[in-house]
Amino acid sequence: MKKQSNVLPKLAALSLLAAFAAPAMAQQAGDNLVNAGWAHLGLNQSSEPLKLGTFTLPGSGAHVSNADTLLLSFTHFVTDNIAVTADLGIPPKFKLSGAGTLNGLGQLGTATQWSPAMLAKYYFGDANSQFRPYVGAGVTYVWYSNIKLTNSLTGLLGGGDPGASTSADLSSSFAPVANVGFAYNFDKNWSANVSLSYVPLKTKADLTTHHSDGSTTHATTKITLNPMVSVLSVGYKF
The pLDDT, as a whole number, for residue 155 is 87
By CB atoms closer than 10 A (0-12, 13-18, 19+), residue 71 is buried
CA–centroid distance for 122 within its chain: 19
The pLDDT, as a whole number, for residue 16 is 45
Structural domains in the chain plus CATH codes:
35-232 (2.40.160.20)
Question: What is the pTM for the complete model shown?
Answer: 0.85
The candidate with the shortest Cα–Cα distance to 230, out of 182, 203, 194, 186, is: 194
The pLDDT, as a whole number, for residue 53 is 85
The candidate with the shortest Cα–Cα distance to 233, out of 178, 180, 182, 176, is: 182
The pLDDT, as a whole number, for residue 27 is 85
The pLDDT, as a whole number, for residue 7 is 52
Three-class SS state of 167: strand
What is the mean pLDDT of each successive set of 10 residues along the chain, which is 238 residues long?
A: 51 45 70 98 95 91 96 97 96 95 93 97 95 98 96 86 91 98 95 98 95 92 97 96
